[in-house]
Amino acid sequence: MPKSTQTPASVLQSLMDEYQLNPFSLSKAINLSNSAVRLLVIGKAKVTVPTALRLAKLFGQTPGYWLDLQREADLNEASKDQNFQDILKGIAKAKKPEAPKPGTAKKPGKQQSLSDKRKKAAKVPGTKPAKGSRVKSVGSKRKK
């Protein structure tokens, strides 16, 4: 797992220092609430797509730059979470089914439609009709 020390918050803080911005002036520049900017600066909020677009426009980067920073920070955080690591250990890698050997492939047979299966089940004595079938029972007339 990646162990990046750069987080969106640290990069944002260094850019704010470089451009001599405070959270209030940054919030006005990118049309985002002051509280949202403060949460970004302290690392309590994540960079979303709209925020990445705004920051990229202001600082002359691509939105992908900000989203990559956030993705790396998320991966780094997940790699430190022991409960999540335990869950990952319990997941086995998927295995592809073996390809049939040439000449041993099953011949396609005729499949019964669902309505055919319901009709067949309704004819067998002692069985209940399939769920959702429209078999009318005796004496079930609607009153108007």
Summarize pLDDT for 72-106 with one digit per residue, the tens.
Answer: 999 999 999 999 999 999 999 999 998 887 876 66
Contact 8, 70 (CB under 8 A): yes
Burial grade of 93 (CB within 10 A; 0-12, 13-18, 19 or more) = exposed
pTM as predicted: 0.62
Q: How confident is the model at residue 31, as a pLDDT?
A: 97
Report which of 125, 134, 9, 3 is spatially closest to residue 66, judged by C-alpha positions. Answer: 9
| Site of tokens 């020390």 | 5
Is residue 47 within 8 A of residue 56, CB to CB? The reply is no
According to CATH, the topology of domain 8-89 is: 434 Repressor (Amino-terminal Domain) (1.10.260)
Q: Residue 64 is encoded by which pair of tokens?
A: 């992908």
Three-class secondary structure assignment of 19-43 = CCCCHHHHHHHHCCCHHHHHHHHCC
Look at 2 and 65; give whichever has higher pLDDT.
65
All structural domains of the chain with their residue ranges: 8-89
Distance between CA atoms of residues 29 and 56, nearest Å: 12
Question: Hey, what amino acid is at 36?
Answer: A
